[in-house]
Amino acid sequence: MKFYWSIPIGLRPHYQAELNAYQQYLAAEDLQKAWHHLERAHIIGQPWALEHSQVHWLMLRFGFKIKSWKEIRGQILRLLVGGVKSFVGKIPVGNTGGANVPPLQVLDLPADLEPLMQRYR
């Protein structure tokens, strides 16, 4: 059995770029764009336990910032099981990670992320 602990080195800059964009938009109080980049970081990092858990932690903090109990509850659930699912390679590809999407729902990858993610499957 193969374990998926941490993101491959070639994918890390793309993941980090999304987190950086999230932080910039969050600092500028553009919450919609901040969330968009956090979702993209989730899509990229989801196959690996560490990055997947990191994004859900940030989503939980975002839920507190916007005072959304739905998001807070959803992220606590995802923090409890999401990293484990990644670790053993059982994830719903394309899922954006927010509480507005069922945790096991597979979604289409954004067109610009499809070729990038295909290289690392």
Q: What is the pLDDT of residues 92-103, one digit of tens each?
A: 899 999 999 998
> Residue 11 in contact with residue 116, Cβ under 8 Å?
yes
pLDDT, averaged across the chain: 92
Sign of the C-alpha dihedral computed for residues 64, 70, 76 and 82 taken in this order: negative
Report the SS3 class of residue 62: helix
Contacts of 120 (CB under 8 A, 6+ apart): 8, 10, 11, 47
The pTM of the full predicted model, rounded to 2 decimals, is 0.93
Q: What is the pLDDT of residues 41-69, one digit of tens each?
A: 999 999 998 999 999 999 999 999 999 99
- Backbone dihedral angles phi then psi of residue 70, each to the nearest 5 degrees: -60, -45
